[in-house]
Amino acid sequence: MNPTRGILLMISAITLFVMMSSCIKAAENVPAGQAVFFRSICAMPIILIWLWRQHDLRDGLKTSNWKGHAGRALAGTMAMGLGFAGLKFLPLPEVTALRFATPILLVIFAALLLGERFRLIRLSAVIVGLIGVLIIMWPRLSFEGGTGEALGVSLVLGSALLAALSQVFIKKMAGVEKTSAIVFWFSVTATVLSLLTLPFGWIWPDPREWALLIAAGLLGGFGQLLLTSSYRFADASVLAPFTYVSMLWALLIGYFVFAEVPTVPMLLGAALIIAAGVAIVLRERQLKQPRPPRMGENL
């Protein structure tokens, strides 16, 4: 274990993911389904090269749970597509903040679908996080900025919900399927599923859009490898709080690249969502620590 190295890898991965989203947002004329195709297909060679260098190309892709991969792929692909679509209607920081609802929704799904206990601290964190989501949503649902903003909120929240459902499938496969297999087969199935949107208006990208789409795929692929590698050096409970570094990058890129000035409701809502997420992570970490024996238990 090397927590410092794991944290640095996690921060690097999160940085690449925000840059990927920025590329998708900049290619505003490209349909979301087409963006998913490029994001997925460009990542596959990177994953295969990584597995080859790890001498795990043959065994790393084996799977015995095609049903689990199918469920994860369907939910994850739809989550990616809705998230990319939402970028066309909302500022980058708001999309990032609303996507932070994923771990909060995961707690709800884990209780409903996996039978995990809904403890008081988790329940309180979920309520606080949902209040943060409502604070961000409310100005957009007033329709003062047009129906596009309300649609954007719906798309991003749908993305967060489906991403949480995708995490449920991953939880079910944890310990049975290799991470490399989960990552690779998701890229394959997302590429195939994205082709179903071809009749709905794909475009021929111009040189700038080609560059942005290929860059998004490469950034996403490298980011996924860094994210996967980070868990080799530190526990998930240690790394999870550092995923919120993406909010800082989203604010900076949104302001300097897209001229998006953060609003007070967005900042307040994001703060509540992040606080709720960190509380859930810390509670999970506490529950995993061995409890000191009570008097008489060690006799």
Lowest pLDDT segment from 124-138, 161-175, 282-296? 282-296
Is a pLDDT exceeding 80 seen at residue 124? yes
Is 34 within the bounds of a domain? Answer: yes
| pLDDT computed for residue 296 by the predictor | 35
Looking at every residue in the chain, the average pLDDT score rounds to 85
| pLDDT computed for residue 297 by the predictor | 32
Is 293 within the bounds of a domain? Answer: no
Dihedral, CA atoms, 238, 186, 176, 234, nearest 10 degrees?
A: -20
| pLDDT computed for residue 14 by the predictor | 92
Q: Are 145 and 81 in contact (CB under 8 A)?
A: no
Is 8 within the bounds of a domain? Answer: yes
Rounded to 5 degrees, φ, ψ at 231 are: -75, -10
* Long-range contacts of 248-254, Cβ-Cβ distance < 8 Å, separation of 24 or more: 249/14, 249/15, 249/18, 249/19, 250/18, 250/21, 250/92, 250/93, 250/95, 250/96, 250/97, 251/93, 253/18, 253/19, 253/22, 253/92, 254/91, 254/92, 254/93
| pLDDT computed for residue 298 by the predictor | 34
Q: What does the pLDDT average to over 155-160?
A: 94
- The whole-angstrom separation of Cα 71 and Cα 80 is 14
Q: What does the pLDDT average to over 223-233?
A: 83
Q: What does the pLDDT average to over 178-207?
A: 90
Q: What does the pLDDT average to over 240-260?
A: 91
Is 296 within the bounds of a domain? Answer: no
Is 159 within the bounds of a domain? Answer: yes
Those residues whose C-beta lies under 8 Å from the C-beta of residue 278, and which sit 6 or more positions away, are: 240, 241, 244
Q: What is the pLDDT of residues 16-35, one digit of tens each?
A: 999 999 999 999 999 999 99
Is 213 within the bounds of a domain? Answer: yes
Dihedral, CA atoms, 139, 133, 23, 256, nearest 10 degrees?
A: 60
| pLDDT computed for residue 88 by the predictor | 92
Is 297 within the bounds of a domain? Answer: no
By residue range, what is the domain housing residue 128? 3-288
Question: How many structural domains are present in the chain?
Answer: 1
Q: What does the pLDDT average to over 106-112?
A: 81
Residue 154 Cα to chain centre, angstroms = 17
| pLDDT computed for residue 167 by the predictor | 83
| pLDDT computed for residue 115 by the predictor | 74
